[in-house]
Amino acid sequence: MRYVDLSHPLETGMPVYPGDPEVSFAPELTIAADGVAVERLELGSHAGTHLDAPAHAVPGGRTVDQIPLERLWGPARLLRVSAPSAGGSIGIAELDLPAALPGIVCVATGWDAHFGTPRAEQHPALALELAAALWARGARVLAVDTLSPDATVGGGGMPVHDFWLGNDGVIVENLTGLGRVPEAFELAILPLRLAGIDGSPVRAVARVG
């Protein structure tokens, strides 16, 4: 049995989605001066590898602390996209979809290699028809290794967010290292227990073997 961390580290100055709060960590107390070390953390609810609760896009939607833990820990299926194009759309034809899916589905584009570079925002997006097909086959958590399942640049709104979160599903963004896990594995996606909040950074850990 081995464990694979699929999360980007959180650190001062790390990349964030355009318009989101910057990430900044700074000492508030120090061992030398105060006897203990305490850090001040400033970040948005969607920093780094994170979870979108329905409340992120749906007025009155479920918040992070209201998502059942059993939805965020269990069997996962990896769907790999071969050679996606910058700014392209990933549809049903680009994937070999099984008839049934577990509750958690991860779409690997390899775009995590561009995290922190200008090319990150040019990631491919999921077509709404693909999101609908994944949902119909049983997925309730949609996880991607890009900034978003929707296009970050070029307009077009957030149709996948609206569909998935509108159905009370969960979206996870900015996974990394999906090339290190097999097609089927166990995944834990644990957010902070933030009361009434629309999203949270997560530690996403795969258990393989």
The catalytically annotated residue of 8, 46, 56, 114 is 56
Half-sphere exposure of 72 (CA within 13 A, CB side): 23
| Residues contacting 189, CB < 8 A, separation 6+ | 51, 72, 73, 104, 141, 143, 172, 202, 204
Three-state secondary-structure class, residue 120: helix
| Residues contacting 145, CB < 8 A, separation 6+ | 106, 107, 108, 109, 110, 111, 112, 174, 175, 176, 178
CA-nearest of 137, 138, 136, 132 to 149 is 132
Q: Kindly give the pairing relationship between strand 89-90 and strand 125-126.
A: parallel
Phi/psi of residue 106, nearest 5 degrees: -115, 130
The Cα 115–Cα 101 span in angstroms is 28
- 56 belongs to the catalytic site: yes
Instruction: Write out the catalytic residue numbers.
Output: 56
